Structure 1
Amino acid sequence: MKKPLRLSDDFMKSLNKQQSHRIISIEDRIEQSWKAIDIMLSLNVINGISGSAPPPPMSQKSKQILQDMDASAKHLAEALGAGKAGAMSQFDIDRNNIWDAVRRNGIATVLSFIDVQLVTNIEKFFAGLVVSYITMFNHGQRTALPADKIFANKTDLKELHKRFYDLRNKWYAHTELEEGRHILKYRVDEEGKITIYKMGEQITPEYHLSESFNLFKCTGQVSLFIDKDLDEKISALMETLTVTQKDILVHHWNHENTLKKFDGHESRI
């Protein structure tokens, strides 16, 4: 199959203002589609550490990528000799011992053996995912996702989405929530002297424990919407193209692929 080409300069110059906006909107949706996939792949990691749960509904593209990642992990295990008979190296022994420990105790416990910070800092990882998720809905230079359309007739997901909006705006990006605020403490010694306790413990909420799968569900719904919205936007764009504009694209396609044929290698696109 031949490699897709960038839209040619001649084609871009032929567009009217509405068509240009349609193309930008499509490009934005494609970026958001990959961002949603990145978020779900990362949440899949947190899900594996915190406790396995079945993935929520999502677009076929997203589902296929998650399945491909699982298949790649299995192929890697096979390449490393999982299940092979014969003499075992120290590497084989160590690997099998780690996998046995994971099966008995879970990923989080085993990671704690390696470095406890890998587990205790998952909340910071999750915070970045929440911020990245909400970015797709913020109005700016990009075509923001319409939350009202995405979560229409999905009351439970709509409430969860609002929850992540609040977490992003009032906790991860700012500090407006009462949760996690430090409470000053003091001591009184035997002589009655009062001392403000400046080294008191600080308890930081870990929302990934309760909210990671909820974010997975919201992002899955986002991927379903984007998949359908992209089809509609591309169809709407194609309906506006003139015969001349289509001829420009066909001519550019034939010209570039003819050059590749004569050059005998892939041209940079």
Structure 2
Amino acid sequence: MTEPLCLPIDNPTFSEDKETLKRIKHLEDRIEQQYSCHEILTTITALADIYQPPTSEPSPSGCPEFLKPFITDNPKDTIDKDQGDIFRIQKEHGTLYVLALLSSELWQGLESLFAGALISYCKMFNSGSRLRLEPNKIFREHPLYLNQHNALMELRNKNFAHKDTLNDRHHLHYFVEEPDKISIDSCAPHKSYEYHLKELQPLINCMALTSKFIAKDIDEKKESLIDRLNAQQREVLLEHWKTFAS
């Protein structure tokens, strides 16, 4: 199949048509948001899987795509055995247990993964250079999810983006070493709250509807863009294709 070409928006038939450029920009924004949705869903689905209890389901068979580069340095039967051992432990104790054994640092960083996914989600609803999403359109028929969305936005604003609440803020400690000698302890314990344990499912719920809305909106904007092209713009696209399509 021939590779698609970028729209020749530098051509005067496009560059001088502000309305068409606006429609192109809006469609590009939505497609970028669709990629963001994929990344967010990949992260939060992985987080949800980590907290699944031990299972009796059959282990996946075959070599995952991401393991294939290691086959050149390790025999396939070795990888199969290692994979089988890990799946056995996972079945008995759960994924979180396996992750804690493999990397305690990554296990302790799960909250950061959730924070990144939440911030990326909320970014799509904030004003900026991109076409923002309107929650009232997405969750119009789902008031419960709209409430969850609003709570997620508040969580992002107060606890991750601006630290408006006392949660996760460091509280300065001091001690007295000698009579009347006061010292500040800059190494005192710092308490961090883990929001992903409670807020992961609401984010999954909201992302499912958001992703569905974006996909539908992309289809509508694609159709609208093509329908509104004038004859000259269509001719430019056809000639551009004949010249540069391989």
TM over 0.5: yes
- Structure 1 residue 120: Cα displacement: 1.2
Q: Distance in 2 between matches of 1:120 and 1:248?
A: 55
Q: Is the CA contact 1:180–1:203 (under 8 Å) kept in the aligned structure 2? A: yes
- 1:68-118 CA-to-partner distances (Å, cap 9, x unmatched) read xxxxx85425987xxxxxxx9555443322111011111111111122111
Unaligned 5+ segments in structure 2 are: 54-59, 69-75
Q: Is the CA contact 1:11–1:249 (under 8 Å) kept in the aligned structure 2? A: no
Q: Is the CA contact 1:150–1:222 (under 8 Å) kept in the aligned structure 2? A: yes
Show the counterpart of 2:7.
7
Q: Is the CA contact 1:186–1:194 (under 8 Å) kept in the aligned structure 2? A: no
Q: Is the CA contact 1:123–1:206 (under 8 Å) kept in the aligned structure 2? A: yes
Show the counterpart of 1:35.
36
- Structure 1 residue 175: Cα displacement: 1.4
The answer to whether residue 77 in structure 2 is matched with residue 76 in structure 1 is no
Q: Distance in 2 between matches of 1:41 and 1:101?
A: 23
- 1:159-190 CA-to-partner distances (Å, cap 9, x unmatched) read 111111111111111212243455678899xx
Q: Distance in 2 between matches of 1:14 and 1:39?
A: 34
- Structure 1 residue 147: Cα displacement: 1.4
What TM-score do you get using the length of structure 1 for normalisation?
0.74
1:92–1:143 Cα change, 3 Å:
closer
Show the counterpart of 1:102.
90
Show the counterpart of 1:50.
51
Show the counterpart of 1:239.
227
Q: Distance in 2 between matches of 1:202 and 1:255?
A: 63
Q: Is the CA contact 1:126–1:212 (under 8 Å) kept in the aligned structure 2? A: yes
Count of residue pairs the alignment pairs up: 230
Q: Is the CA contact 2:174–2:182 (under 8 Å) kept in the aligned structure 1? A: yes
Counterpart code for 2:151: R
What TM-score do you get using the length of structure 2 for normalisation?
0.81
The answer to whether residue 106 in structure 2 is matched with residue 118 in structure 1 is yes
Counterpart code for 2:114: F
User: In angstroms, what is the RMSD of aligned CA positions?
Assistant: 3.0
Show the counterpart of 1:65.
none
Q: Is the CA contact 2:13–2:233 (under 8 Å) kept in the aligned structure 1? A: no
Q: Is the CA contact 2:159–2:168 (under 8 Å) kept in the aligned structure 1? A: no
Q: Is the CA contact 2:14–2:233 (under 8 Å) kept in the aligned structure 1? A: no
Q: Distance in 2 between matches of 1:244 and 1:120?
A: 58
1:101–1:243 Cα change, 3 Å:
same
- Structure 1 residue 130: Cα displacement: 0.8
Q: Distance in 2 between matches of 1:176 and 1:126?
A: 19
Q: Is the CA contact 1:11–1:248 (under 8 Å) kept in the aligned structure 2? A: no
1:89–1:20 Cα change, 3 Å:
closer
Describe how 1:115-154 pairs up with structure 2 within 5 A: 115-154=103-142
- Structure 1 residue 15: Cα displacement: 5.0
Q: Is the CA contact 2:13–2:232 (under 8 Å) kept in the aligned structure 1? A: no
- Structure 1 residue 145: Cα displacement: 1.0
- Structure 1 residue 123: Cα displacement: 0.2
- 1:172-209 CA-to-partner distances (Å, cap 9, x unmatched) read 11212243455678899xxx999899465433111111
Q: Is the CA contact 1:11–1:245 (under 8 Å) kept in the aligned structure 2? A: no
SS of the counterpart of 2:11? helix
Q: Distance in 2 between matches of 1:226 and 1:173?
A: 25
Unaligned 5+ segments in structure 1 are: 53-72, 81-87, 261-269
Which fold has the larger relative contact order, with Cα–Cα distance below 8 Å and residues 6 or more apart in sequence?
Answer: 1
Aligned with 1:211 (options 182, 199, 205): 199
